[in-house]
Amino acid sequence: MANATSAPTADDENGSPQNRQSPKLPAVLKSPAVKVFLIGFLTVLLLIPTTFVWLLVEERADRAKGVAADIARSWGGMQSINGPYLAVPFTETVVSGEGEKRQQTVHHRTVVLFPERLELKGDIGVEERRKSIYSLPVYSGQMSMEGRFAAPPSGIFEPKDGGTIKIAMDKAMVVVGIAEVRALRSYVSIRLDLALWVLFVPFLCVLAKHGGSGINASVAADIWQKGFSFDLAMHLNGSSALFAAPAGQTTLVTLQSDWPHPGFTGAFLPEQRSITDSGFTATWTIPYLARGIPKTMEVDSLPLSGKLMGVKFVEPVNFYQTISRSLKYAIGFISLTFLAVFVLEMRSGWQFHWMQYGLVGCALIIFYVMLLAFAEHIGYGRAYLVAASSATLLNAIYVGTSLKSRIAGLVIAAVLTGIFATLYALMREQDYALLIGSVIAFAALAVTMFVTQKIDWSGLDPSRPEARHQTG
């Protein structure tokens, strides 16, 4: 009689329930060394979404620049004041040939005289103009200039080609270059010798031959030939920055503003400056020799265009630039976090799957997205606190519950708090970024070396348990 056979059960076909959970792998594939390699590969892989976040930051920054340009077009852009100069046109008539071949050529030339003394003062009120969620520092400045032009020295109207010189006595004019004339808020007039007022007109003189913009006022021959004093004032709008040229043989520039974040720049830096929470005051004194140019010049465009000095009205935090720079530290940021989780895994007796490492890394990348999104609405400082706290809390709870250890969660919270605090400091102290980064890297390596001394990196230690508790 044939023996009855029973159909194999599911447990007989597939083994024990424990065997159904996961196939046995060679011990070497479960070794900590291989785990570290996989974690390193995952860290490099996470650079792909990090790149997309960087592209998002750049796109939002370009959008902000576009909106700022729109505001500047409506209010006034970056302004510069170049002058005043005394421009005197003249001609040189050259005759060549004889008889029927006799030709007459007229060369139009211009001599520019610099003030022997120039004092420029500016009182600048700055405010932030907003459009949508973006803003731009704009200003309205009351500028005043006073000084004196000396009588023209002899020999400045000399022929170059042996021709005849004719000075256009009635065509002399005081010229002031202004980057955007359309941003002037009122009429501008100049007072000569404390008596005669002359109204400025748009830039029509010969110094506009090669472009540029500005204003000019005619000066009678009997005035400019003997020298004259002058004073003028203008109400000027602009944005982002204000520059001035050391037009005088001796130039004194004084700027004061209610903006507490100035950035002094240009060919000359201020001799004296005072910066407080309520604004700044800065003074430049440029002597004749420091300019590096003579007292008179024969030119066909505004001189000193390349020797401007001034101040930028810096926004306290350009968070787009800051976030973009912080993304450069993302790989180190993620690596330190993974290192902390790995050490806790080795010491806890519970396994942390590589997919779980990936989720922790994704939470850190989302931190940058949250930082960008919140910063556009509530400012960089508060946005950083919100994004960092969210990422820290999420990862601390996740790691703690996965490793079945409250201590592990607290350790990750402490590690991430330290990492976020360090990253914030790095963004604020650019000059010390390398120093801080090197110290942190050394400290992290030292801690890892001593904490992992007793780890069996090969996974072949017979005393090591064959199975460990698993999560995920």
β-pair partners for 287 = none
Q: Where are the domains of the chain?
A: 30-61+320-456+465-470, 76-95+105-315
pLDDT digits (tens, 9 = 90+) for 169-186: 888 999 998 988 888 888
Buried b (16+ CB within 10 A) or exposed e, 159-190: eeeebeeebeeebbbbbbbbbbbebbeeebeb
Taking the C-alpha atoms of residue 336 and residue 25, their distance in angstroms, rounded to an integer, is: 28
- Give the pLDDT of residue 385: 94
Interatomic CA distance for residues 435 and 239, integer angstroms: 36
> What value does the mean pLDDT take over residues 440-453?
73
Model confidence pLDDT, tens digit, residues 98-150:
767 778 888 888 889 999 999 999 999 998 888 877 778 899 989 999 999 99
Distance of CA 319 to the CA centre of its chain: 9
Residue 97, pLDDT score: 73
SS3 316: coil
Q: Output the pLDDT for position 17.
A: 43
pTM, to two decimals: 0.71
pLDDT of 11 > 80? The answer is no
Mean pLDDT for 341-351 is 76
Quote the pLDDT of residue 102: 76
User: Degrees (nearest 5) of the Cα angle 40, 45, 50?
Assistant: 120
Distance CA 156, CA 406 (A): 88
E strands present in 226-294: 228-239, 241-244, 251-257, 262-266, 272-276, 279-286
Confidence of residue 349 (pLDDT cuts 50, 70, 90): low
pLDDT at residue number 374: 92
Checking if the pLDDT of 191 tops 90, the result is yes
Would the pLDDT of 229 be above 90? Answer: yes
Q: Is pLDDT of 357 > 90?
A: no
Question: Does pLDDT of 5 surpass 60?
Answer: no
Q: For 234-252, what is each residue's pLDDT tens digit?
A: 999 999 899 999 999 899 9
Lowest mean pLDDT among 43-57, 147-161, 441-455: 441-455
Structural class in CATH, domain 76-95+105-315 = mainly beta
Q: Kindly indicate the confidence band of residue 316, based on its pLDDT and cuts at 50, 70 and 90.
A: low
How much is the average pLDDT of 3-21?
Answer: 44
What would the mean pLDDT of 359-371 be, rounded to a whole number? 92
- Among the residue ranges 43-52, 236-245, 288-297, 458-467, the one predicted with the least confidence is 458-467
Cα–Cα distance between 53 and 73 in angstroms, integer?
30
Q: What percent of the chain has pLDDT over 70?
A: 85
Q: How many angstroms separate the CA atoms of 467 and 88, rounded? A: 96
Residue 466 has pLDDT above 60, yes or no: no
Query: Whole-number mean pLDDT of the chain?
Result: 82
> Per-residue pLDDT tens for 423-435?
888 777 766 667 7
Average pLDDT over residues 361-368: 92
How would you class 104 by CB atoms within 10 Å of its CB: exposed for 0-12, middle for 13-18, buried for 19 or more?
exposed
